[in-house]
Each structure stands twice: as C-alpha cells, then as structure tokens.
Amino acid sequence: MSATGTVMKVSGPLVVAENMSGTKMYEVVRVGKDRLVGEIIRLEGDTASIQVYEDTSGLTVGDPLVKTGLPLSLELGPGILDGIYDGIQRPLERIQQLAQSVFVPRGVDVPNLDREKQWDYTPENNIKVGDLVTGGDVVGVVRENGLFKRHMIMVPPGVKGRVTKVMPAGKYTIQTAVVEVEEAGKAMKVELFQRWPVREARPVVEKLQGKEALLTCERVIDALFPVTLGGTAAVPGAFGCGKTVISQALSKYSNADCVVYVGCGERGNEMAEVLTDFPELTTMIDGKEEPIMQRTTLVANTSNMPVAAREASIYTGVTTAEYFRDMGYNVAMMADSTSRWAEALREISGRLAEMPADAGYPAYLGARLASFYERSGRVQCLGNPPREGSITIVGAVSPPGGDFTDPVTSATLSIVQVFWGLDKKLAQRKHFPSVNWNISFSKYIRILEPYFEKYDAEYSTLQQKMKEILQKEDDLQEIVQLVGKDSLSEDQKCTLEVAKIIREDFLQQNGFTDYDFMCPLAKTIGMMKVIVGFHEAAQKMMAEYSGEHKVGWNTIAVAMKDMIKKITDMKFEMPRQSEEHYKRTFVALHDEVLAAFRTLAEVLATRRCFVFAPAPAPPQTAPAGFRLAQQVSHTVVLRLDAELQAFSLLRLGHAGAILEQYWHFQCWMVLHRLLSVVMSILTTFLAILWRRGQTGAVVWRLPELTGAIRPHLAWHPDAACLASVSPAGHVAVHSLVGESTEHLHVQGDGAWPVVAVAWQPCDLSSLAVAGPLGLCFWRRKGSWQRIWSLQGEAFASSALAWSPDGRALAAAGPLGVVHILGPHSALIGEQVVPSQFTRLQRWCSGGLAKCLAWSPDGALLAVLHLQEDTEPSVRLWSTRSWEVAAVVGLGALRPSGSELGVSLAWMSSELLLATASLHLVEIAVRGGTASNIGAARLGEDTSGFFAAGSEPGVRVVSLPGQEARRVLEVSVCPRSAQRLAVRLEGCREVLVYERPTCGLAGWSHRELSPCGILAAEGAAPATLAFAAHAVQRSGSEGSLLAVYWCLDNGQHEVRTYPMHFIPAQVLQTSTVGS
C-alpha cells in the first residue's frame, strides 16, 4: 500500500485523488507540492474526495498527495486560552509573526501550541507511583494565567494503567511526560497536552439536567427567556439586528468560567473588535484586575478564508469547549454564524453532486446541526475527583432577509430549546437588544424556577405577569391603530403605559453607557418587582374606584408622575454594586410605590364631588379674607381667587382646616346634583361662569397648582401696538399709531378666560392666546379671526414665549408641563405658519412652570419652576439638545398677599435676571451652563459671595432704599439692557433703575442706581413690559414702557411711557374697562 496518492481532479475546494486505498473517512492528507491541509469526506473504490482547507489555486492533475493516517485533531493543553486560531487550529498570531503578512500562507505548518514555553506544573497530592489511573483522572494542575489558575492535566480518554513515574512540581514544556502509565507491558506517557479528533465527541459518565442559569447580564434574556448552563440557544436575525453584539455581550459578561468564540464566515472586523475590546474588559480576582481575554479562546474563520474551513471551525470550537468542560468548568460557546457553516456544507455538497434539498442545502443538514448541538449539556465528567461541567452553545443564525422560514433557521429551531428572535423593526427603532418578546421562547423556564427563586421567591410570577403585559399590549396595538387610544378602557390604557415602560426602560439596554452595559440578576429582578408592583397597584385602584367616583389612568399618571419618573430611572443604578445594595434599593422603591398608592387611596376615600356646609365662625388663625370651609383630611380644593379672578389648586396632606374663600352660587341645589355626575368637566366651567352665590366649597380631583394669574401685557414686535389681558380674561389690542383699542372676543364659545398672549415675531399679524383649556392662534384679516387651536387639559397654559426667530413657541402649563410647539421641518428663511405646528417637545418636572423666557440668541429657554415645599428654581434648557443645561435655586419662597412675585428677564445672552419673593437675582450664563455661587435676601451683606478673583455666577442685586420690600416683577429694557423697571409689593409706583455698565468679568458691588419713578394718581401698577424695539418719539429714539394700572374706582388703564428721557411723560393712555 502506497503512502501517497495522485490528484486526478480539482473543483474549487474539492479535490479528487486516486491511488487512495487504505485510507479512512475524515483522514487528514497533504495535497500538492505546498502540502495543503485536506480531509477525506468520500471514499469510492480507489478514489477519494477531499475537501481542502486552503486555497487550491495552482493544483494540477498528477500532483502528489501524502496520507497521514490521522484524523483531523486538535492539540488541547496549556496555552490554548488567550489565543486566536483558524478553523483547523493553526495559531494566527504565530503565523503572522513568521510570515510577516496579513494573509495565511498556503501550506504553512506551525505547531498548534507553543512547544518552547514552560509552565508551572503542580502534581496532585494523591497521585503516586503504583496508583491505578483511568481516562479523565486529574494528575496535576498548571497555572494558565491570573484569571484561569487551575488548568487541569488529565489522563486522556482511553488511557488507563498503573502509574510508574510521577514528575515533581516544576516548570515543564507541554511535551514533557509528567506521568507515565503502564498496562499489559505497554508504557504510555501523559503529557501536558493531548490530541483529540474534532468530529468525535469526548466521552462523559452521563448527561445531567441543567439546574443553573447562564446569566448573560442582558435583561430581556435573563428576565424572560433564560438559558441553562448546558443548554442550547439560537439567535436568528437579519443583517444589522445585533447578532454579533449579543454574542459578544455573552462572551464578555456571562457567568461562564471560560468562553469559546467561533467566528464562522463572518466579517473580519468583528473578530478584530473582539481582539481589541476583550483585553480592555477586566474582572477583579484576588484584588487584582485581570482581562477577560484570559478565559477566552477565539476561532476565526472569516469570510475571506476558504469556505471549506468553515465546516471544520464549528467542530474545532466545540471540541475545545469539551476539553474545558471535562475539567469541571462551565463553558459558553458562541458560534457566529451557523448559517455560514451551513453554506459551506451546501458548497461541498454541490461539488460532490449530491441531491440538493430545500434551497440547495444537503438533505442531511438537520442531522449535522443536531450532531453539533447535542454536544452541549451538563455532564458528570470522567475520572477523579468527581466533577461536573457544562457546555452552553449559542448559535447565531443569519437567514437571508430575516426570513425565519429559511431551512437553516427552521432546522435550528427544531433542535434548540431557547429561541431569541431578533426583529428588524426593533433594530430600526434603535431598540437593542432587538429580541422580539412576542416570538421568542425558552423551554428551560420551569427547570430554572428553583434557581431563580433563591434570588426572589416571586420571580416566576413576575416573569409571567411581565409577559402578559407585553402580550396584551401587542393585542391592543391593532385596536389603537384602527380606532385610537381613546377607545380603550382605563385598565387597558394603564397596560399600554406600563408596557411602554417595560419596553423602553427595562428591555432596552444601551451597551455604550457605564450604567447599562450590563445588568446583574439582582438588579434585573428588582426592576421587575417594582414595575409589576406598580402595574398591579394601579389596576387594583382603578378596579376599586370604578363606580361613581371613577379613577382613570390619567388621574393616576398625574398623581404618580414622580413615582413613574423614579421607575423609569431604575436603569441608572450602576452595575458593579453588591447584591445586598440592589435588594435594599429596589425593596425600598417597591415599598415607596405601594405607600404612594395607599396615600392616593386615602385622598380618594375622603374626597367628595361638592361639599356644601353653613359657614362656621372663622378661627383665630385664619388670615384676612378667608373663612373655614370644612374639616377635611387629604383633600384637594379648587379655589377661585376673588381679587384676581384666577384659579389655583391647594392640597393639604394632613387632617385640619382648609381655609378657602367661599363661592356663592345661584340655585346651588340643582347644580350640586348635576356636577356630582360630571364634575371633572363642569367644575372648571363653573369657576368662571358663576362668581358668588350661596355658600359652598368646591373639591377638585387634580394635583395642586400654586399661585395666581395677574393682568398681562405683550408688545407687538415692531412696537406699533400692544396687547393686554385684563383680570377678567379679556384681550384688547391698543394701537399706538391710530391711538385706538380693539377687543378680541376670544371667549366667544363661553369657555375660560385668557391668561397670556404673545405676538409671533415672523408674522406681525398673528397672536398666540393661552388659557386653562388650551392654546389658540388669532390673525388679523380685516378683523381678528381664530385660525388654529390646541384644546384640552393637556395644553392648558399660563405663560407663553416665542423664540427670537418666531419658529418655536414655548407654553407653560400646570404640573410643570412645558410644551415646545413648532413645525416638523422648515427651511431657514421660510415663513412658519402656526397651523403647521405640532408638539416637538414636552417636559414635565412637577410643580408649576410659572415664567418662560428665551435668550436673545435663542440658544437657551429659561423656565422658572415653583414646587411645594421646595425653593423656586430656574431651569435652563438647551434648545440644541433639549436637555437641562443648568438648574439655579432662587432661595425660599415666602408669598404674601395675592401674588407670588416671580418673573424672568434676559439682560443679554449671558445674563438673566430673576425675581422670587424677596430676591432679585442676576444669573451669569456661560457656554450653556450656570453656576450658583450663592444668594441672599435684599438688605443682607453679599460681600461674602465674591472673593477676589472668583468668577461670578449668581448674586443678589440690591435696590437702594427698598431692602424691606418684596420684588413682584421686573422688566428689562432691550434697547440698552442696562435700564430696568421694577414693581414692588405695597408700592403704588413703578421704579426705574440703571445698572452700572460693565462686562460680566467686571462685576463688582456697585448697586443699581434709581433714575425715575412712574406713578398714576389713584392707581396701583398690576404689570409692566418694555417694548422690544426702539421707536422715534419727539425727535429722539428710545424704548417704550407699558404699565397696566388698576384704578381705585375699579377701572383699568394701560399707559405707555417713552424711556429716552427721565422723568417720563405719559405718551398714551388706553382704558381697558372695569
């Protein structure tokens, strides 16, 4: 029998040779003069079909072929970790050093493992001469690296006998025989490494059922579709869905002892990414950080390598995993992707002229896939000491176009027990991991229940309820798309919103953030518990209050907005915390959720639609103008301020007297019966329709608002006219050219009064009008006409502000909601029509958004927020990212009388002036941020805030001679940004001050200097506003100041004053009405 054969045919990677008698299936041969590596895959008589694992270019008929007599085998021993190999275990790093090329030379022959490196070997204490050993017995240990310290040296399977020699501890190469065994006169050596054929599974004592989970640190997997240690999972998905990302995440953060990552036919840059990222990822071992690459073996057979080698790479990877499993370790093997492996089978099958099956794949595709996946599992290993190990195989599948009916995907799904189906639509929405929770499944859930219940006894219940919520959402989506969300019941609306929280704040993970790149199991279960607990509590409350006092989802969402914010922020918990920290944190949050619902239930249990009671004598502590309405606990009361005709909400969270002004209604008995049924709609309507009648108090169901609404002024952008809003909510437009006044009948439908107006800069005939029931836009077309509106409580607004370019409108409403309205897209210079507007942004920060002001350059939007039990603050929102750039506190708010005394005014793009209670505060803004150095009340020494060389941030401005008065409002002259008009509490004049002209860097202790006083006989100022542009008056140019005066006789007037000289004379007076 000859040891050589002859090439008789070459067809791509397939070579047919003759003179091959005596060879065996899957025997390795060397083909051609370059000794290319090949493997026999078919024998017919004297000819053999050989698949060559290298490029066959240059092979010709008649080239010699050398038989080796050995199957395709791996060398398994120390040094295999922290290395990268090709599909037949050739070390790519060593080849690159030898060849100095980025490509693997043909026929290169390099030892798979380093023959020269010496390893620290320590024999097992119980191994001595004369002992009987068998396959799988551990005879010693080698320290592989700092992360993998116990690389066990085992007797190869099939070897047994009596020990005749044991080497002492020391440094040895892998070819050193550390133990010699003799059986029946035949001596055998146990070296530090062993060889094993790749197509033969390594033997085990028995296979065991999995009992522990492979923790992937991906919430969607660990929470909903877990896999056992020793299980099988498939990850099919189209291009760009994140298969490789999931495989790499499992390799990086899973609880496996070692990882085998096989890149089969995928792009080379993905393997390069693994080589780059893994050494940078570390874990703490004995107080020292070790790179996780030290527990990883890479098998790279990229798309530019020979196709035939893909078929061998899968077997190379699983054989390597079996070697570490036999040591008693839990191994995770990632195969990316099995579709490329199946394509290699199809290629070879076609070359062999075999009968094709579906899509051209061979008929034995399913059998080959099954033989690969069945090599996974948890097993009892051969030999002593007794030990258990496992291999978990996760195979990525790349069906063309994401078609899950692809033969490879179908065959894989019939084999694996866990299916993580990736969704192209989720990936397009940037939802990663893009695992579709509606089609994915896991058959290990029941097996793993005892394991997860050790962490939390309610895990199985939480998992099931979370799946039910997501399934219900999927069922409801069709209804929502057909007839809209309003057609759903309240419990269904709740389910949709909680499902949204689950999708966006639980299932979705950002792998590029320091807080969400991984998620420990304790954090995952804690988040599940809080979300499900919130959903159950909300559903229970809606079920209990389903009768006359029905509670809907909107009521719960508004009342629990802060709690919902905390739930959505759970993902920001850092991942490297202890398990006890997570348990403590999430148990506390869960209890806080339940406590919040109990508090809301107490409020709802004590509320009534209307309370009518005779007025008792006022208590001694009642302030002037108030009488005792009733003794109520946890009640929310809507009141009408008698002086300013405005509305606000007041909630007292403890039992006691609620002091409110009484309303007097005509025919109150009839109204009581009517409004008890439709209270949520008609209460707001009655607040304006009736003024005073019989005694009674109105109890409302909404959270609290703070403050009242005062008269309002808005200058036309070119200072040609002025719009005013009276305390009764009427809008008047005063012309400075024709000295005439027009009244807008904004309340033609009998709705609510107007609260604020604003002119659109880019359209000088358009006026935005805001009120408690929404927004509307009016335009002068001969007469004033309403052209567009946004109605509903969601758009209730108390303040408006146009951006300097007129392309966006900010509207502040109750509960801290700020809407940004504008067109979806518009070219620069294109006219923006309000009817094209939609809501671009929406913020909800609680409390009340009282004032709005855009910076002159439009880069920042300042919002003054008021909130119960906290100091007022100014939030600066960046209009580029729509994120909070800075928050500046203004000090404790102490309202007295009927006004809160808050306002905002920009002096320049870098200087903002704010008032709050006794504060008049300058805020320096630099680069979109603001710093709060400190603040003090007027009259206190502020010298401590500005040490030498310190950079100013926030300071209190002194008003000469007015230290004891509370600042109610300030308006800045845009002409010079140095002159400002101030309205003080208890003062019947408007004071005009000059600010020292100096840059921000030159701020000093120089105070404002008074330069004028504006007064009207028998009147007090209610509000004031500077015109935006200068006007020509009396031969000189200057700005105009408008002041709204409330006369003692009940009449209201708007007077305008020229500011180019002081003292100013009245330029025009317009009577608003009574």
User: What 3-state DSSP class applies to 258?
Assistant: strand
Q: How confident is the model at residue 498 (pLDDT cuts 50, 70, 90)?
A: very high
Which of 321-330, 651-660, 894-903 is least confident? 651-660
Distance between CA atoms of residues 1 and 764, nearest Å:
103
> Peptide bond preceding 648: is omega within 30 degrees of 0, i.e. cis?
no
Would the pLDDT of 748 be above 60?
A: no
952 prior amide bond cis, ω within 30: no
The answer to whether residue 945 scores a pLDDT higher than 90 is no
Q: Report the alpha-carbon distance of residue 1030 to residue 961 in Å, rounded.
A: 30
pLDDT grade, residue 137 (50/70/90)? very high
Phi and psi (nearest 5°) for 310?
-65, -35
Give the separation between CA 429 and CA 569, rounded to whole angstroms: 21
- Provide mean pLDDT across the span 160-189: 93
Q: Which of the two residues, 497 and 767, has the higher pLDDT score?
A: 497
Q: Do β-strands 1019-1026 and 1009-1015 pair in parallel, antiparallel, or remain unpaired? A: unpaired
| CB atoms inside a 10 Å sphere around CB 576 | 10
Lowest mean pLDDT among 460-469, 536-545, 652-661, 669-678: 652-661
The torsion angles phi and psi of 756, rounded to 5 degrees, stand at -150, 155
Q: Any idea what the Cα angle at residue 865 is, between residues 973 and 554, rounded to 5°?
A: 135
Winning range, highest mean pLDDT, from 267-276, 362-371, 656-665, 943-952:
362-371
Topology adopted by domain 458-603: 1.10.1140
Averaged pLDDT for residues 1036-1062 = 77
Q: Can you tell me the mean pLDDT for 200-207?
A: 96
359-363 average pLDDT score: 94
Q: Where are the alpha helices (DSSP H) in 607-678?
A: 668-675
- 463-494 pLDDT, tens per residue? 999 999 999 999 999 889 888 888 899 999 99
pLDDT greater than 80 at residue 32: yes
Query: What is the layout of strands, in order, in the sheet containing 989-994?
Result: 967-972, 979-984, 989-994, 1009-1015
Would you put residue 176 in left (φ > 0), alpha (ψ -120 to 50) or beta?
beta
| Least confidently predicted of 284-298, 493-507, 519-533 | 284-298
118-192 folds as: OB fold (Dihydrolipoamide Acetyltransferase, E2P) (2.40.50)
Please name the residues in contact with 108: beta carbons below 8 A apart, sequence gap of 6 or more. 90, 95, 98, 99
Residue 594: the pLDDT is 94
pLDDT value at residue 633 = 28
Alpha-helix runs per DSSP H in 119-267: 219-224, 243-253
pLDDT above 70 for 625? no
pLDDT of residue 834 exceeding 60, the answer is no
% of the chain exceeding 90 in pLDDT: 43
- Distance in angstroms (rounded) separating the CA atoms of residues 665 and 271: 78
pLDDT at 399: 92
User: What are the boundaries of each domain within the chain?
Assistant: 1-71, 118-192, 206-455, 458-603, 710-823+836-901
Residue 805: predicted pLDDT: 80
Q: What is the pLDDT of residues 81-127, one digit of tens each?
A: 989 999 999 999 999 998 888 888 998 989 999 999 999 999 987 88
Q: Grade residue 225 by pLDDT with cuts at 50, 70 and 90.
A: very high
Residue predicted with more confidence, 752 or 881: 881
pTM of the predicted protein model: 0.60
Q: Please compute the mean of the pLDDT values over residues 835-851 and round it to a whole number.
A: 66
Q: What is the pLDDT of residue 605?
A: 72
| Span 772-794, average pLDDT | 74
**Cα distance between residue 269 and residue 312, in whole Å:** 21
User: Could you give the percent of the chain with pLDDT greater than 70?
Assistant: 75
Cα–Cα dist 601/544, whole Å: 10
Mean pLDDT of 752-764: 75
Q: Give the Cα separation of 874 and 862 in Å (integer).
A: 6
Decide if 1-71 and 206-455 have a common fold. no
The position carrying tokens 């070119």 is 718
Which residue would you say has higher pLDDT here, 344 or 893? Answer: 344
Taking a C-beta distance cutoff of 8 angstroms, is the pair 1013, 990 a contact? yes
Phi then psi for residue 498, to 5 deg, are -70, -40
What does the pLDDT average to over 1033-1053?
75
User: What's the whole-number average pLDDT of the chain?
Assistant: 78
d(CA 75, CA 92): 15
Pairing label, strands 27-31, 64-71: antiparallel
Which whole-number Å values give the CA distances from 84 to 88, 94, 117, 133, 848, in the listed order?
11, 10, 17, 33, 61
> CATH assignment of 710-823+836-901?
2.130.10.10
Q: Round to whole Å and give the CA distance between 245 and 270.
A: 9
Domain 206-455 - what CATH class?
A: alpha beta
**31 confidence band (pLDDT: 50, 70, 90):** very high
Lowest-confidence range among 477-486, 845-854, 892-901, 1042-1051?
A: 892-901
Phi, psi of 248 (to 5 degrees): -70, -35
Reduced to 3 states, what is the DSSP secondary structure of residue 1032?
strand
Strand 83-85, strand 296-301: pairing: parallel
Inform me whether the pLDDT recorded for 932 exceeds 60.
no
**700-723 tens-digit pLDDT:** 222 333 334 578 788 877 777 888
Mean pLDDT of 302-311: 85
Question: What pLDDT does 619 receive?
Answer: 36
Domain 1-71: which CATH class? mainly beta
Q: Residue 759 above 60 pLDDT?
A: yes
Q: Is the pLDDT of residue 1038 over 80?
A: no
Other Cβ atoms closer than 10 A to 329? 23
Q: Of 308, 306, 274, give the one whose Cα is nearest residue 291.
A: 274
Please tell me the predicted confidence (pLDDT) of residue 860: 86
Sheet with 170-172: strands ordered across? 151-154, 138-142, 119-123, 170-172
* Stretch 250-263: mean pLDDT: 92
Yes or no: say if 920 and 901 are a contact pair by the CB < 8 Å rule.
Answer: no
N-to-C CA span, the chain: 122
Q: Which of 140-149, 594-603, 777-786, 826-835 has the lowest mean pLDDT?
A: 826-835
Q: Give 1023-1032 pLDDT, tens digit per residue.
A: 888 886 655 5
Q: Comparing 699-708, 846-855, 913-922, 1022-1031, which segment has the lowest mean pLDDT? A: 699-708
| Interval 569-583 mean pLDDT | 93
Average pLDDT over residues 924-935: 48
How confident is the model over 249-273, as a mean pLDDT? 88
What local confidence, expressed as pLDDT, does residue 436 receive? 95
Maximum Cα interatomic distance, the chain, rounded to a whole number of Å:
128
**Per-residue pLDDT reduced to its tens digit, 346-357:** 999 999 999 999
Query: What is the phi/psi pair of residue 339, to 5°?
Result: -65, -40
pLDDT exceeds 90 at position 636: no
* Joined tokens for residue 859: 């880069």
User: In degrees rounded to 5, what are phi and psi of residue 129?
Assistant: -65, 135
pLDDT of 540 reads: 93
Q: What is the pLDDT of residue 236?
A: 94
User: 73 forms bridges with which residues in the sheet?
Assistant: 197
- Pick 431 or 876 by higher pLDDT: 431
More reliable by pLDDT, 810 or 392? 392
Please say if the pLDDT value at position 166 is more than 50: yes
Mean pLDDT over 441-451 rounds to: 95
Please give the residue that has the higher pLDDT: either 259 or 981: 259
Mean pLDDT of 963-991: 75
Please report the pLDDT score of residue 240 as a whole number: 84
Which of 152-166, 773-787, 919-933 bottoms out in mean pLDDT, i.e. has the lowest? 919-933
Q: Which two tokens stand for residue 507?
A: 């299932």
| Residues ≥6 apart with Cβ < 8 Å to 446 | none
